[in-house]
Amino acid sequence: MQQVLSQHRIGVVGYVPDGGHKRLIELCQADARMRSVVLSTEEEGVGLAAGAWLGGERSVLLMQSSGVGNIVNALATVRECRFPVTILVTMRGENGEFNPWQVPMGQATGAVLRAMGAVVHRVDNPADVAGQVEASLRIAHGSYCAAAVLIGQRLIGIKSFQEQANQ
Amino acid sequence: MSLHRRDVVKALLAERGGLLVVAGLGSTAWDCTAAGDHDLTFPLWGAMGCAAVMGLGLALAQPRRRVLVITGDGEMLMGLGSLATIGVQKPANLSVVVIDNERYGETGMQATHTASGVDLAAMARAAGFATGVLVRDAAGVGALRKMVHEADGPNFAQVKVAAEKVPLVLPPREGVLLKNRFRAALLGAGAALE
């Protein structure tokens, strides 16, 4: 996935960490051509991406599905100004989720993104991830819009505090 | 004698050279327009709380240009986390100037947190900005101009100004127009084909 970002000349990667993004974040941090920016809230990432595009750089944002709830108003600016931005969302709140507080936002993630004008792709098969990320990068930059890939919880694995405790 | 917001912004933007400007929504966008509408000023009509971090994105993309965010106290208060995000990235070419009238000016002049003493400059220093200053007088504005145009950052200033109503001077409203004119002025006509 990181190679796809590199091929598409992504210069800025904004993220609020999620377990499902751990390896990708490490690979982006190790790539001297990408500036990795840790955010205090996902909304900052949308502003970051807009500013970077004004300056000629392409951006990708990494966040968990709960973070999509934090970017809703900022997506209004993306739509009004037609800023290209690709958002890779690791899903929680579906497929055997053990934490009930994650379920409402997880179930609403796709609808919220679509309501704000984002193009939404979803992947549940590991073999499809790189292709869907590439498709989202193409549509974001080809159509000057927000494009999101929802990476299904079945693909990432279900979080379990018991398993974490045993690691 | 208290400072007037239009005088402060005009002083910062006079003979601006290659300065890139992001103007926070509301009064500071009108202040920047009153100082002279400019292709390399991006005035926000929305995205409240995002002005500073938009300046960060611009500063990272254009490390050889100086970037100035001019925003209001209410707008900055909505994006306080971005001070920490900027403090981590430490872009030397970025300055954030808050025009602080201690009011939500567009909604009826209700008091903001800064009216009760919330110290944004101290927050910026604590977040890792190279400088975080409080400006209250004309001498301070002169030093601030020097900081914005010359000093290594990230720099932050909180400028206390009079809570006054000033005439509306509006920039263009359409987002695509504002984006495209900025990119064309900065990156050349070819930016439209990117």
User: Cβ–Cβ of A50/B50 closer than 8 Å?
Assistant: yes
Least CA distance to A37: which residue of chain B? B89
pLDDT at A154: 86
Task: Enter the tokens of residue A100.
Answer: 């009930």
Q: What angle do CA A74, A77, A83 make, to 5 degrees?
A: 110
Question: What one-character DSSP code corresponds to residue A32?
Answer: T
Q: At B12, list the tokens.
A: 């910062």
B99-137 tens-digit pLDDT = 999 999 989 999 999 999 999 999 999 999 999 999 999
Nearest to B53 among A38, A47, A76 (CB): A47
pLDDT number for residue B192: 87
Amino acid B131: pLDDT: 97
Q: What is the C-alpha to C-alpha distance for residues B113 and B115, in angstroms, rounded to an integer? A: 5
Average pLDDT over residues A144-154: 95
Q: For residue A61, is pLDDT > 90?
A: yes
Q: How far is CA A45 from the centre of its chain?
A: 10
CB within 8 Å: B57 and A83: no
- Average pLDDT over chain A, rounded to whole? 93
Length of chain A measured in residues = 167
Structure confidence at residue A164 (pLDDT): 56
pTM: 0.96
How far off is chain B from A165, nearest CA to CA, in Å? 30
**A73/B47 Cβ within 8 A:** yes
Q: What is the pLDDT of residue A163?
A: 60
Cβ separation A54–B175 shorter than 8 A: no
Say yes or no for a CB contact (<8 Å) between A54 and B89: no
Give the pLDDT of residue A19.
Answer: 86
Q: B20: exposed, middle or buried (C-beta count within 10 Å: 0-12, 13-18, 19+)?
A: buried
Predicted local distance difference test score (pLDDT) of residue A159 = 62
- The answer to whether A59 contacts B186, with C-beta atoms less than 8 Å apart, is no
The Cα B90–Cα B154 span in angstroms is: 6
Res. A157 pLDDT band, cuts 50 70 90: confident
Using one digit for the tens of pLDDT, what is the confidence trace for A69-112? 999 999 999 999 999 999 999 999 998 888 999 999 999 999 99
Predicted ipTM of the assembly = 0.96
How far apart are the C-alpha atoms of B154 and B85, rounded to whole Å? Answer: 11
Distance CA A15, CA A8 (A): 18
For B81, nearest residue in chain A (alpha carbons): A40
Instruction: Write the DSSP string, chain B.
Output: --B-HHHHHHHHHTT-TT-EEEE-TTHHHHHHHHTT--TTEEE-SS-TT-HHHHHHHHHHH-TTS-EEEEEEHHHHHTTTHHHHHHHHH--TTEEEEEEE-SEETTTT-EE-GGGGT--HHHHHHHHT-SEEEEE-SHHHHHHHHHHHHHS-S-EEEEEEB--------PPP--HHHHHHHHHHHHH-GGGGG-
Residues of B within an 8 Å Cβ radius of A? 20, 22, 42, 44-62, 65, 79, 81-82, 84-85, 88-89, 175-176, 178-179, 182-183, 186-187, 191, 194
Q: Which residues of A touch B53 (CB under 8 A)?
A: 44, 47-48, 51
pLDDT in tens, A122-141: 999 999 999 999 999 999 99
Spell out the long-range contacts of A25-33 with Cβ–Cβ below 8 A and sequence spacing 24 or more. A25/A62, A27/A2, A28/A2, A31/A2, A31/A6, A33/A6
Regarding beta strands A119-123 and B41-43, do their DSSP bridges make them parallel or antiparallel, or are they unpaired? unpaired
pLDDT string in tens for chain B (194-residue length): 699 999 999 999 999 999 999 999 999 999 999 999 999 999 999 999 999 999 999 999 999 999 999 999 999 999 999 999 999 999 999 999 999 999 999 899 999 999 999 999 999 999 999 999 999 999 999 999 999 999 999 999 999 999 999 999 999 999 999 999 999 999 999 998 88
Gap between the terminal Cα atoms of chain B: 50
Say what the pLDDT of residue A119 is.
98
**Helix/strand/coil for A12:** strand
Alpha helices in A8-158 (DSSP H): 22-30, 42-54, 65-68, 72-81, 103-115, 129-143, 153-156
> To the nearest whole angstrom, how far is the Cα of A148 from the nearest Cα of chain B?
20
Interface test with A, best of B38, B39, B40, B58 (most A CBs within 10 A): B58
pLDDT at A158: 63
**Whole-angstrom distance, CA of residue B142 vs CA of residue B136:** 11
Contact B25, B52 (CB under 8 A): no
At residue A155 the predicted structure's pLDDT band, cuts being 50, 70 and 90, is confident
Residue A161 clears pLDDT 90, i.e. is over it? no
Structure tokens at A119: 């193009």
Contact B120, B75 (CB under 8 A): no
Which residue of A9, A81, A83 is the best one to mutate when testing the B interface, meaning the one whose CB has the most B CBs within 10 A?
Answer: A81
CB pairs under 8 A between A and B: 126
Q: Which residues have CB under 8 Å from B71's CB, separation 6+?
A: B22, B23, B24, B28, B51, B52, B96, B97, B98, B99
> Under 8 Å CB-to-CB from B46, ≥6 apart: which residues?
A73, A76, A77, A80, B25
The answer to whether the beta carbons of residues A149 and A118 sit under 8 Å apart is: no
Q: Does A15 touch chain B (CB under 8 A)?
A: no
Interface of A with B in 63-82 (CB under 8 A): 73-74, 76-77, 80-82
d(CA B159, CA B157) in angstroms, rounded, equals: 6
Residue A39 is nearest to which of B85, B176, B178, comparing CB atoms?
B85
